[in-house]
Amino acid sequence: MALLALPVPTDGGAGPGGTPADAFSAVVVGCAVLNAVRGARRPLSRTAAVVLGLPVVGITAAACASSSAATALTGTARYLQVFVLVPAAVLLLIRDARQFRVLAWAFVGLALVQGAIGVHQNLTGTGASYMGADIRAVGTFGPTDVMGMATVVSYGLVAALALAFRPHAPRQRAAALTCAGLLTVPLAVSFSRGAWIATAVACGVVLLLAGARHALRAALAATAAAVVLVAGLGLGSQLLQDRLSSITQVTDAPDQSVTDRYAMWAASVDMWRDHPVTGVGLKGFPEHRDGHASLALSSGSDTAGAGSGFRRQPLLSPHNMYLLVLSEQGLLGLLTLAGGWLALLVCAVRRWARVRDRRGSPVSGTGGPGRPAGRGELDCALLACGLLVWQLADFMYADIGGPSTVLTAVALGACGWWGLRPRAAEGAAHEAGVPHEAGVPHEAGVPQAAPGAR
């Protein structure tokens, strides 16, 4: 994740070897494999193996249906990296809630770095071009990946909000709330409508899972903060208002970007109708786009600014992950890939429910010997559910692609650790760490002592 703070080459970093973060993700997978071999045990539970391995079925079938072996191989490697290998590696390498929180703070730290660069770009006019001015915050990702910084900042904001509900950690709660408030500024000046919508949905889910009282207070605070921020942005406030109002005007007076998106969505559905089971093949959307798109589709989008000159960027995807999978992998691919995501969400919510059921324990944060850690891991539950909801909502307006894609794999792995880890490991983590978090002395053998024993 730290490698994603490095500047991305002007070509978008999409060379044959990918970005440094992509290359290092292979090291992470290797470490996970080595750790599993040294442990001499089954690395994944049966449920985790099914949920994480389900996308392989659709990916393999779509690869066989591709017209080009080279593109099929490239697409297979990318999909396996993002949705199978890296998530499984992250799940295996996280051992307990403490390490999970370290990863969560890494999301926040990366978001603060990219967000600070983005705000500087907006204030100095050195960002990507937007409405004739170089004010769009893109961080180090450049104008060819305008969603990169917005994705990173959104992840960090959701993570900070979830960490603010960690029990028995007032300093962390204060720091997390401060970071969440700061990250709203770069998210606003990213001018990314899809990221705004997904973040609002994810934060709403986090607050509702934390409790209705928290949701109401946060809604009032967010409304007040939005008024202050918009009023304090001066000239930029009008651009923000126009961008916000355009969300509800996509059917009345859509701009060219919305028109292009609708045209590509229709083309994706048309491709699926011609190839309903396995789709047109991995990486096949650009090849079949012109044969299925309407005349309303433009030849590309204009990018400039942030250290790059004017460039006409071709439209190579429908900017909707579900429709991209449907067109390239067919119904089989969509059911296996999206079905795995929904199963992961169900598992994460079920584990959150067990956490909430134990909030009445005599000692907050303990669920008894060998049982889940109760409210001591409430922040972990909120983070996993929030990140997954954000990703599922954002996939309605975006798809994989660009240097920030590897971060999606890490986020899915973090969600998998919470929702798919075996109960035995959950109980072991509880015995090892929760009594210390709750302020209860822990000595060897105490968890097995008789009730009432000192």
Out of 6-10, 35-39, 88-92, which region has the weakest mean confidence (pLDDT)?
Answer: 6-10
Q: Are 94 and 34 in contact (CB under 8 A)?
A: no
The answer to whether residue 349 scores a pLDDT higher than 70 is yes
Q: How confident is the model at residue 450 (pLDDT cuts 50, 70, 90)?
A: very low
Q: In the prediction, which pLDDT does 453 show?
A: 43
Mean pLDDT of all residues in 424-440: 44
Q: In the prediction, which pLDDT does 239 show?
A: 62
Q: Return the bridge partners of 136, or none.
A: 128
Mean pLDDT of all residues in 401-427: 84
Q: In the prediction, which pLDDT does 443 show?
A: 38
Mean pLDDT of all residues in 70-81: 91
Q: How confident is the model at residue 402 (pLDDT cuts 50, 70, 90)?
A: confident
Q: In the prediction, which pLDDT does 109 show?
A: 96
Q: How confident is the model at residue 355 (pLDDT cuts 50, 70, 90)?
A: confident
For 187-212, the pLDDT digits (tens) are 988 888 889 999 999 999 999 998 86
- Residues 6 or more apart whose CB falls under 8 angstroms from that of 86 comprise 25, 28, 29, 406, 409, 410, 412, 413
Q: In the prediction, which pLDDT does 158 show?
A: 95
Interaxial angle between packed helices 212-232 and 236-247, expressed in degrees from 0 to 180 and rounded to the nearest 10: 130
DSSP 206-226: HHHHH-HHHHHHHHHHHHHHH
Task: Count other Cβ atoms within 10 Å, centred on residue 41.
Answer: 7
Q: Residue 135 CA to chain centroid, in angstroms?
A: 25
Out of 18-27, 85-94, 132-141, 301-310, which region has the weakest mean confidence (pLDDT)?
Answer: 301-310
Q: Return the bridge partners of 240, or none.
A: none
Q: What percent of the chain has pLDDT over 70?
A: 74
For 206-220, the pLDDT digits (tens) are 999 988 676 677 666
Q: Are 206 and 387 in contact (CB under 8 A)?
A: no
CA 371/CA 297 separation, integer angstroms:
56
The answer to whether residue 13 scores a pLDDT higher than 90 is no
